Structures are given as structure tokens and as C-alpha cells.
Amino acid sequence: MRGIRLSDRVLIAGQTGKGKTTLARYLVDGLQPVRTIVFDPKGELEFPDVAPCRSPDELAAAMRDPLIHYIPASFDRDQLEEACEIVWNTPGPYISWIDETSEVSTPGFCPAGLRLGVTQGRQGRKMVLAVTQRLAEIHPVFRSQAEHIIIFTPAPIELDLKTVAGHVRREARELDAELSSLHAEHGDFSHLWHVRDTDELRRCAPLPAPAQLSRHQSASTAAAEDPSESAACEDSDSASAPS
């Protein structure tokens, strides 16, 4: 999608069933071909013809594959640390997609390999795509390092709004008003997209169903079909940065 590079960190937040995974698939497909490593803590994602890995050893054996689907058999911190270290030590470029970030991190804990990927992976083109239901329940490194923060409607709870407001350079009440206005106009699955470099706050309508996408869609094809290049996603005129 427009303006997202393999060196970027992207944070996607929203309630269950409101479009986070659909958008994540769009982003991944739009950047192909590139190795993609999916951390799927809840085991809810499906990738045809890809057998899930369930231990760090299985993950290590699969790291040469173009798509790696990792479903942790345990949330033991030692195993999370080992799995994330394997990913960090893998040369880029790749996309590390964490499907539910609050399952592998907390406000006070993030596996060292994952944290290194977020803070130091840009030069190696190691993209981190973090997805979460709760912005306040993940490690702050995902918010502070994100070049793109995308928040789905309806608006999250007040604590999450207050937690993320400073990172999108808006006040919580202003962000709440933007999300409420967008939801009233486009309903569920619409989202605000903040771009850190330009301080844009884009208002994005719902995306088409992910079944329309191909896993091996080329980056050039994705750019030509990208709904964010049309009226589906526009800069917000009312959401200016606070003085």
C-alpha cells in the first residue's frame, strides 16, 4: 500500500472482527515477493499448503521457506525468547507479522529478538507488522517505533485512545471524534491511518474482501489495484497536529 516499505514498522489496532487481519493480508500481499514469518498466537489464521510450526526447533527448520506460519505450542517466555531470537538472526528482507501482539508481549515485557527487530531491523529490511486488540496492553516499543499506526473503527476504549494519542500527535478527544465521524460515514471496517513522517491522518473506507487477493500477487499489481490510491483512503482535513 502507498508509502509502506520493507524497512517500516506498522501497528494495526482494532476490535475483534473489524478488519485488522484483512488489512494485514493486503499489506503482506502488496509487498510480495518477500519471506513472511507469521506469529499466530491464537492459531486462527489459515494459509493453504503451509504446515504450521509449533516449536522453536520446527520454526528454525522452516526459516528458508517463503511463508512460515508459527503457532506457539506454549507461551512460556523462554520459548518465546528462543523463537524471536531465531527470527531476529535470520537475514532480511522479511516481514515479521505478529497477529496478536498482546499475546507475546506486555507493557513490561517483549522478547529480546522481537524488540531488536523493532528497534534495529530497518537497515536489514526486517519489517515488523504488529496487530493488536488492545493498544495499552502491548510493549510501548511497538507504538514508539511505528512509522504507520492504523486504528479501526469503532473507536477503542478510552485507555487505548489515551495510550496511543501522543504517538499519532493528536489529543485523545480529537482522535475519538475522528474515529466516531469516520464510523458514522463508513461503518465498521473503516480506519484511520497515521503516517509519522508526514503527520498525515488518512481516513480509509473498508477494503474489499481478502478472498480477492492472491498470496503471490506482485508489488506492481498491488500498487495498481491498491484502494488507498483512490477515494477509499484520503487525508483528514480536520485532524491537524496539536500545537
Q: What share of the chain is helix, strand, coil (3-state, %, to 5)?
A: 35, 20, 45
Edge-to-edge strands of the sheet including 233-235?
67-70, 35-39, 94-98, 126-132, 9-13, 148-152, 191-195, 200-204, 233-235
Q: Is the dihedral of CA 107, 19, 55, 113 positive or negative?
A: negative
Nearest partner of 232 among 199, 164, 194, 185, judged by Cα: 185
DSSP 168: G
Nearest partner of 45 among 15, 65, 30, 67, judged by Cα: 67
Task: Parse the chain into domains and list their residue ranges.
Answer: 9-229
d(CA 221, CA 89): 31
**pLDDT tens profile 146-183:** 999 999 999 999 999 999 999 999 999 999 999 999 99
Q: What is the DSSP string of 12-81?
A: EE--TTSSHHHHHHHHHHHT-SSEEEEE-TT-----TT-PPB-SHHHHHHHTTSSEEEE--S---HHHHH
DSSP 171: -
**pLDDT tens profile 128-153:** 999 999 999 999 999 999 999 999 99
Judge whether residue 236 has pLDDT over 70. no
d(CA 142, CA 55): 24
Q: How far is CA 85 from the centre of its chain?
A: 20
pLDDT of residue 235: 57
**pLDDT tens profile 9-40:** 999 999 999 999 999 999 999 999 999 999 99
Tell me the whole-structure pTM to 2 decimals: 0.88
Angle in degrees, CA 181, 140, 96, rounded to 5: 90
Strand partners, 109: 106
Tell me the residue type at 160.
D
Classify domain 9-229 at the CATH class level: alpha beta
